[in-house]
Amino acid sequence: MQQLIDVKDAARSVWARGDYDAMLRTEGLYAVGEELVHRLDVAEGEQVVDVACGTGNAAIPAAAAGAQVTAVDLTPQMLEVARRRADDAGVRVDWVVGDAEELPLPDGYADLVLSTFGCMFAPRHEVVADELVRVLAADGRLGLCAWTPDGVFGEFFRIVAGHLPEDPEFVDPPLALGDEFRVRELFEGAGLTLAFERATFEVVHASVDAAVACYADNLGPVTQARELATADGRWPDLHAALTDLFARQERADGRVVVPAEYLLVTGRRA
């Protein structure tokens, strides 16, 4: 379907924008990948797949734990940065340009399938869930993180989406993967025992302005929203909405401390 190809081409070019790695380092969000690897008890020699891996948030700590890691992402520019980070960390990961909806891996390949804030941005969550299950070994484990719709980043992504071109109807809203009921539905009948937790990671920015600039300069979808909003005169509205969002998280010392809530889904195939 040409529309689906167009959606994926657009996603690839959006995620190539900005400096995603710089944003994650500022936020300290690489700690979430480390925590996920720790929680799932990734062990030496296990086959791990990081889906929509970006710059290797889960892949690199999994490789550091001794796993054989394959990391898949739609956006080659993300993988270039990931490769550099893995070299710096002295770990080996197979970085593969590929689609979460069509993983380039055989059935039953993975002891563990992980995704931090990745699968949520693929267009069709049902197709993605089927793929995650397909590549999971008979006794495999699953670990997924996605921003919750009612958390601060849920509100953040809704504001940004309001300044981006509307997706075709078949595209699932990314935040749906942060909704426990939807995730249960997606994996129903897959033979997985799932556990759900609302986890919170504290994202700290030096100030409200620094928070807005961090995302407007570095996070692909926000850089695009800013560009479009600037062209049609709506950047002051978008800027004001983001400023208001972060101002609500401002502390007396001027820092912004965001309780970034995400849904942590862990599962095991029986």
- 3-class secondary-structure state, position 259: strand
Q: Least distance (Å) from ligand SAM to the CB of residue 228?
A: 19
> Could you give the C-alpha distances from 34 to 42, 110, 135, in angstroms and in order?
10, 19, 22
Q: Which residue has the tokens 């959606």?
A: 7
- Phi/psi for 8 (5° steps) reads -75, -35
Q: Least distance (Å) from ligand SAM to the CB of residue 270?
A: 27
d(CA 52, CA 123): 12
d(CA 91, CA 63): 6
| C-alpha neighbours within 13 Å on the C-beta side of residue 111 | 14
Q: Report the residue closest to ligand SAM, judged by CB.
A: 54
Could you give the residue ranges of the DSSP H alpha helices within the chain? 2-15, 20-27, 30-39, 59-64, 76-89, 125-135, 152-161, 180-187, 208-218, 220-231, 235-247
> Of the two residues 66 and 76, which places its CB atom closer to ligand SAM in the complex?
76
β-pair type (256-269, 136-147): antiparallel
> Of the two residues 165 and 191, which places its CB atom closer to ligand SAM in the complex?
165
Closest CA to 21 of 210, 217, 259, 227: 217
| DSSP category for residue 121 | G
Provide the CA 47 distance to its chain's centre, in angstroms: 20
> Of the two residues 55 and 251, which places its CB atom closer to ligand SAM in the complex?
55
> Of the two residues 97 and 247, which places its CB atom closer to ligand SAM in the complex?
97
> Of the two residues 1 and 252, which places its CB atom closer to ligand SAM in the complex?
1
**Residues that bind ligand SAM in the complex, under the rule CB under 6 A:** 8, 11, 15, 24, 52-54, 57, 73-75, 78, 99-101, 116-118, 121-122
Q: Least distance (Å) from ligand SAM to the CB of residue 236?
A: 26
> Of the two residues 10 and 234, which places its CB atom closer to ligand SAM in the complex?
10
> Of the two residues 144 and 256, which places its CB atom closer to ligand SAM in the complex?
144
Residue 106 neighbours by CB distance under 10 Å:
9
Q: Least distance (Å) from ligand SAM to the CB of residue 129?
A: 13
